[in-house]
Structure 1
Amino acid sequence: MPSVLYTVGYEGANIIDFLRTLKDLGIKRLIDIRDVPVSRKRGFSKSALANALEEAGIAYSHLKDLGDPKAGREAMRRGDYPGFLEIYTFHIAKPSGQDALRAAVELAQESPSILLCYERSPALCHRTVVAKEMKLLAQFDVKNIGINP
């Protein structure tokens, strides 16, 4: 039976509702796949987020090599999804990307996990590509969630 792999974007969320949602889902590990885990949104930069998660009993892992590189982010800002997809697909095909992908699979198989990035819509985020790639390596049912206040 496949494990459930959740994905989430924190755009528009606050840290309290975010943590409550993760706890309600039974999440035990958050896998941060942001290239640069810094946020202007209070509570979502790497250290603050890791601390808040730890207090909530949720482990934190940052896999930088699964982050969308600057060129991919710029393509998405221009609305160039095909360009983004080409850049990101090339990026995670590198050995470091493949190593990080395998690490994400191992982590997600150990405990209920969620992939984190910024964009609220999974259709506009590289986490959807990561989740699809993870499904090629292991059996996962992918569920994209939103954070509701």
Structure 2
Amino acid sequence: MQKKLYTIGYSGFKIDNFINTLKEHNINIVIDVRSVPYSQYNVDYNKEYLEKILQYNNIYYRNYATEFGARQENKIYYPNGYLDFELFAKSKQFQTGIQKLEKTMQKNYKFILMCSEKDPIRCHRTILVSRAFYNLGYQVIHLLTDKKELTQADIEESLLNKYFPDRFQINMFSENLSNEEYINLAYKEQNKLIGYSIMEEL
């Protein structure tokens, strides 16, 4: 059986609907990938309250800001002024997060990566974190409002169509890339668009 994980952006979900969606998919652990686990506009998703209501519904809460957060303190991961997802994905802390969740899954827990952004293609949970699991052979399902779903394969197709809409046209003047090479470049471009930026100290 193929390993499976889910992701969700809570924007657009009222808390009761959010909980029901988790239950419908038998989720028993929420992995919060926000660097700052608080919301000014959706206070139901502030860490302490969210953890409490999840616990009431027999769902565990874990914050993985260190392992998977979009805002990392170490400036080594910002070579171009924004968080380089590929570079950070090779870090010890990121890989430790992957390994911890893989061990958790082996104990028959079903987890979901949670952030605030409603559209998965615009969130680091998809372009950074779930990509890593997808490359390890996991089936990745992004849960949307109105019971809609997208897979990581759907995301990759959208990225390709966004950045390389003419990739199937034969071009005699440039090197033809493989589909995998196009996908890697598309992820890089999306990383530039959504990666957290820092201002260098003067």
1:113 aligns with 2:125: no
1:38 aligns with 2:38: yes
**Separation (CA, whole Å) in 2 of partners of 1:105 and 1:43:** 28
Superposition RMSD in Å: 2.2
**Separation (CA, whole Å) in 2 of partners of 1:134 and 1:109:** 14
> What is the match of residue 68 of structure 2?
66
* Higher strand proportion: 1
Q: 1:93 to 1:54 in 2, by over 3 A?
A: same
Cα distance, 1:147 vs structure 2: 3.2
Q: Comparing both chains, which one has the higher relative contact order based on Cα–Cα distances under 8 Å and sequence gaps of 6 or more?
A: 1
Q: Deviations over 1:74-125 (max 9, x none)?
A: xxxxxxxx975x6233233221122122223323443111110111111001
Please list every run of 5 or more consecutive structure 1 residues that lacks an aligned counterpart in the other structure: 72-81
**Rg: which structure is higher?**
2
- Aligned with 1:34: secondary structure? coil
**How does 1:133-144 map onto structure 2 within 5 Å?**
133-137=132-136, 139-144=137-142
**Separation (CA, whole Å) in 2 of partners of 1:148 and 1:121:** 13
> What is the match of residue 78 of structure 1?
none
1:48 aligns with 2:49: yes
**Separation (CA, whole Å) in 1 of partners of 2:28 and 2:56:** 12
Write out the 4+ residue segments of structure 1 that deviate beyond 3 Å after TM superposition: none
Aligned residue pairs total: 137
> What is the match of residue 95 of structure 1?
92
